[in-house]
Structures are given as C-alpha cells and as structure tokens.
C-alpha cells in the first residue's frame, strides 16, 4: 500500500518534466573502501548538483558529514546494508557474497532521506546468503511501510554465483521477485533493450538501470540511457560511469539532456 508519505517522496525523486529519475550513487566507499573519484565528497556532491541530478545514493557516515551539501539535490537515498559482493574473488574478498544490515529506517528518517536502498543478491553459491538478503529486504520493507519511506531494492545476481548478472532471464526473475517483496523502485543491471522492455512489462515497480563500472565513451553511455528510456525504464542510477570521468558536471548534464530528449 502506498502511504501519503511514500507518495510525496516518490514524486520528489522523479523529475517533474520527464517522469524519469537520474540518480548518482556514491555509496561505493562502504563496500570497497577508497576508489577513484570519491576522495573529495564536498566537491563531488556540488558537481552532481550542478549537473542536474534528481537523486543521489549515500552511506550514513557521508550523509551525516555532508548533509548541508546534499540539500542541493532534490532527493537522497540512504544505503541500509553492506556487502562483500564487489570484493568477491579479489585479494580482500571471499569466494562468495556476504551481506548485512548496518542501519535502519529510523536513522533514515532522522537524517532526512527520501528513500532507502538494500541489496537483493540471488543465485549465490551459498543458499543461506540469498536467504539473508531476503530477510534483510523483508525487514526494511516493513520499516518503510511504517515510516512512509520509499524502498529501493537493488536486485542482481551475486558475483561468484551460478548465474550471469546481465542474463535477461536472471534480470527478469530478480526484478519480479524484488517487486513482489514490496520494492517501490527496483535497481538492476542493463541486459539489452529487448531484455529491459520485458523486465519493465513484468515488474510491479518502476525499473532503474544501474550504470556498472566505468567503461566506454560518454557517447556510448548516453546511447545506453537513450535505449533505456525507449525500453520504458523510469530511472538511471549511474555512479562510477559518472564520478570517475574527468568532468562530472558535464557528464551528469549530458545524461540529463539525453533523458529529456528521449522522453519527448
């Protein structure tokens, strides 16, 4: 059930002119530590705001320290969980993915977030870890309903598991599961225009496309965004492909312009 609070917050997250959300995630530090592009959050948040982003994803520590700067962006999504997913197979990782809660919706309310986000990893080699993700999402979903906060579920196949993250059938399964769990918005991997069209048709919640690791030119990135708009995606959550480019403001603006032109 959509509460008045959720309804108001959802409207704030999606651009009033296009009906599509451009969100820049900068929550990577809690998952993998220091990476290129995140050393100066003050400057970065300013460039994201100047570029015209509708939303941003941050961790609790960053929101506490930079809440004044974040007021320049229409909506903030607060990360609720931490995962070893992005370190799987690396020198500081494990053979499989482990995920745990690090915050709750009460903290999000106190910090002034419009939404919270949690991971839903499936196809993990260890079924207990998939079970843990379901438990986390069920708990946060209940908290969101009680507090009128938007719940974004980031639904993806686990690294080191038995499925490819960009397999259209896996993406389709994950997004339907996430929306059945109660997600208000589902963030997921790009799996081609045909795949996303099918995902959008079968999801109970709006679909937002993840940007993935930095790759390709800006023109190639905007081509994917344009195809996503044509496929019915209602949001784009593009982090490293934005903040690891030389001109963050220009990149955000290019993405915004692409969404505007594609939605006409």
CA 60 to CA 212: how far, in whole Å? 22
User: What pLDDT, on the 0 to 100 scale, is given for residue 2?
Assistant: 72
What pairing do the DSSP bridges indicate for beta strands 55-58 and 21-25?
parallel
Backbone dihedral region of 72: left (phi > 0), alpha (psi from -120 to 50 degrees) or beta? alpha
Sequence-ordered list of residues with C-beta below 8 angstroms from that of 21, at least 6 positions apart, any chain: 13, 14, 15, 54, 55, 185, 208, 234, 235, 236
User: What pLDDT, on the 0 to 100 scale, is given for residue 93?
Assistant: 86
Token code pair at residue 242: 């934005």
99-120: burial string, b at 16+ Cβ within 10 Å, e else: beeebebebbbebebbbbbbbb
Long-range Cβ contact pairs of 84-93 (< 8 A, separation 24 or more): 85/31, 85/119, 85/121, 85/158, 85/159, 86/28, 86/31, 86/32, 86/159, 87/31, 87/32, 88/158, 88/159, 88/160, 89/159, 89/160
Q: Where are the beta strands (DSSP E) in the chain?
A: 21-25, 55-58, 75-79, 81-83, 99-101, 115-122, 150-157, 185-188, 207-210, 235-237
- Positions of the chain with pLDDT lower than 50, given as ranges: none
Sequence-ordered list of residues with C-beta below 8 angstroms from that of 71, at least 6 positions apart, any chain: none
User: What pLDDT, on the 0 to 100 scale, is given for residue 150?
Assistant: 98
Q: Where are the domains of the chain?
A: 4-262
| Burial classification of residue 4, based on how many CB atoms lie within 10 Å of its CB (0-12 exposed, 13-18 middle, 19 or more buried) | exposed
List pLDDT tens digits, range 54-63: 999 999 999 9
User: What pLDDT, on the 0 to 100 scale, is given for residue 82?
Assistant: 96
User: What pLDDT, on the 0 to 100 scale, is given for residue 159?
Assistant: 86
4-262 adopts what CATH topology? Answer: TIM Barrel (3.20.20)
């Amino acid at each position: 059930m959509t509460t008045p609070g959720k309804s108001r917050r959802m409207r704030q997250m999606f651009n009033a002119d296009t009906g599509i959300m451009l969100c820049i995630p900068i929550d990577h530090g809690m998952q993998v530590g220091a990476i290129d592009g995140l050393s100066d959050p003050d400057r970065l948040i300013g460039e994201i705001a100047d570029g015209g982003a509708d939303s941003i994803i941050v961790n609790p520590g960053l929101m506490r320290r930079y809440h004044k700067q974040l007021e320049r962006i229409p909506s903030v999504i607060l990360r609720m969980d931490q995962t070893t997913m992005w370190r799987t197979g690396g020198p500081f990782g494990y053979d499989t993915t482990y995920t745990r809660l690090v915050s709750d919706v009460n903290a999000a309310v106190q910090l002034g977030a419009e939404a919270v986000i949690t991971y839903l990893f499936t196809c993990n080699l260890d079924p207990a870890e998939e079970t843990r993700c379901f438990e986390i999402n069920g708990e946060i979903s209940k908290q969101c309903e009680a507090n009128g906060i938007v719940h974004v579920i980031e639904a993806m196949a686990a690294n080191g598991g038995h499925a490819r993250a960009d397999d259209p059938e896996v993406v389709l399964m994950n997004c339907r599961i996430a929306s059945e769990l109660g997600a208000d918005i589902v963030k997921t991997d790009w799996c081609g225009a045909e795949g996303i069209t099918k995902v959008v048709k079968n999801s109970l919640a709006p679909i937002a496309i993840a940007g993935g690791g930095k790759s390709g030119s800006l023109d190639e990135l905007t081509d994917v965004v344009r195809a996503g708009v044509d496929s019915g995606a209602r949001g784009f959550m593009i982090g490293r492909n934005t903040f690891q480019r030389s001109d963050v403001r220009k990149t955000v603006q290019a993405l915004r312009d692409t969404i505007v032109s594609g939605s006409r």
